[in-house]
Amino acid sequence: MAGPRRRPAPALHVDDPVAAGLLAVVVGGFVAMAWRWRWTHDDGFITFRVVDQVFAGNGPVYNAGERVEAFTSPLHVGLLIVLRALFGWALDEAWLSLLLTLGAAAGGLVAAVAGARALARAGGAKGTMVPFAVLVPAALPPMWEYATAGLETGLAIGWVGLSFWLLARLAARQRPLDQAEAQGRRRRVADRTLLATAVVVGLGPLVRPECTLLSLGFVVALCTFRAARSIATWRLVAAAVALPLAYEAFRMAYYAALVPNTALAKAAVGSRWGQGWYYLVNTVGPYGLVVPVAAVGTWALAARRRGLRRVFGGTDGRTLVLATVAAALGYGAYVVRIGGDYMHARMLLVPLFALCCPLAVVALPRDAARRGIVVGATIVMGGWALVTALALRAPAPEGFFGGHSIAEQRPFYVALSGADHPVTLSSWSRSPTYGVGDEARRAAEAGEDISVVVLEKGSEVGAHILSGAVVDPIG
């Protein structure tokens, strides 16, 4: 006879008012700071231009007639196209992107908490849940900076959190979805749940190419779950790769390429370990990220007494945690290998968040010895988060390791635009290049042949219009 059905606990529960209140403070604080730092990076306007071209009838390109995949995240572009079709009459696509990525990032934090809680409860934890590793992404200034910015980072955070939560719910069941259930309709519902989960966790390549590593880890974990034994493994794999393969076929047919043009332009298969190491240290050092690592190590002392398998709710939970950590470390190693990026910390935010998901929240044990250890670790984590949020900021451009071209981006664009929150193109009206760009647009619309040359001298930026080249009427 089948045992009692075990259901994963929901993200928030009436029995956890303290946990719900603490989570609201953490996520609310993150959203408030990200909103306070709202802006759009110039790479974001590349994505917006592609969306403009789609609505102009030219297809997903940067310039009409040039089939070049100028964007990195097909999912970001696709969602913006849908949002503009629905709400473009009311909001600029820059605002649509801001609301999309900020909402996704906040949702990712909540989903990570829900997933960690499901695993902990499945492992028999009865104590109050308190925020733990979720404090790391919530308190990091680069997370606030890139939760908007017109880039796909916030969307990636949301996808990772959602994937982890969906998998954690399945892992917490510790039984096939159709076990002890009537056949027929319930079986079909169970299969659809598994296939839908596979589709979601397989979206990584459409979020960012590097997220393929996370998708790989998630799909491997899903295929090993006891909850997935009711369906053939090949069906799960097929569901996971269906959309990425469909888009890859479109990419090859439309762009005649295997990877985005950004991967070719930025040498995404190169090897620059030295620069990558500087990038890693430039991310870890300013915020003392060794402190959260020490806090996790302290928590592990208490977890050892129960065993990781029990802590995470059994074999499936442990498999999910190991797969998530391994995929995140592989992602981080890849970023280091290619030399990181010129944007301070951005490329490491997604794998860092994935590492935090399994311990986003932890339960306070009931026995005094283990409870003291966990409380101590939580105090260390909370103290670090408070200091980081209030006092620690990115190093000055090239000031941390001179000559390695790593810099916080937002202050530069705020200064250049003359606006506190440069979100839309109109925010740049006081920029020295805005007037020239506006004049160039009008000239192009009038049919004149022009070219714009941007000149930089020290901290000053200027532009001049020259004749000789045709500028696309879109901009």
Burial (CB count <10 Å: 0-12, 13-18, 19+), residue 446: exposed
User: What tokens appear for 297 in the block?
Assistant: 């190590």
pLDDT digits (tens, 9 = 90+) for 99-145: 999 999 999 999 999 999 999 999 888 888 999 999 999 999 999 99
Confidence at residue 259, expressed as pLDDT on a 0 to 100 scale: 86
Q: In this structure, are residues 298 and 377 in contact, taking their beta carbons and an 8 Å threshold?
A: yes
Closest of 304, 335, 309, 329 to residue 320, by C-alpha: 309
What's the pLDDT band for 206 if we cut at 50, 70, 90? very high
User: What's the CA angle centered on 24, arms 156 and 84, to 5 degrees?
Assistant: 40
- Which residue reads 């069906």 in tokens? 235
Domain residue ranges of the chain, discontinuous segments joined by +: 17-390, 432-475
Tokens 């929240």 appear where?
Answer: 361
**Predicted confidence band of residue 456 (pLDDT cuts 50, 70, 90):** low
Tally of CB atoms within 10 A around 126: 10
- In the chain, the percentage of residues whose pLDDT exceeds 70 is 84
Determine the Cα–Cα distance for residues 407 and 170; give it in Å rounded to an integer: 41
Locus of tokens 């920029």: 431
Question: Whose CA is closest to 19, among 135, 104, 113?
Answer: 113
Contacts of 155 (CB under 8 A, 6+ apart): 73, 75, 76, 79, 100, 101, 104, 105, 207
Q: CB neighbours of 76 closer than 8 A, spacing ≥ 6? A: 47, 97, 100, 101, 151, 152, 155, 207
> Would the pLDDT of 7 be above 60?
no
Lowest mean pLDDT among 36-40, 211-215, 322-326, 415-419: 415-419
398: left (phi over 0), alpha (psi -120 to 50) or beta: left
User: Which carries the bigger pLDDT value, residue 137 or residue 398?
Assistant: 137
Long-range contacts of 407-411 (CB under 8 A, 24+ apart): 407/342, 407/343, 407/344, 408/142, 408/145, 408/343, 408/344, 409/41, 409/145, 409/149, 409/343, 409/344, 410/37, 410/39, 410/41, 410/145, 410/149
Has this prediction a pTM greater than 0.85? yes
Query: Is residue 460 classed as helix, strand or coil in its secondary structure?
Result: strand
Tokens of 129: 């849940």
List strand residue ranges (DSSP E) for 25-160, in order. 129-131
pLDDT of residue 472: 44
Q: Tell me the three state secondary structure of residue 155.
A: helix
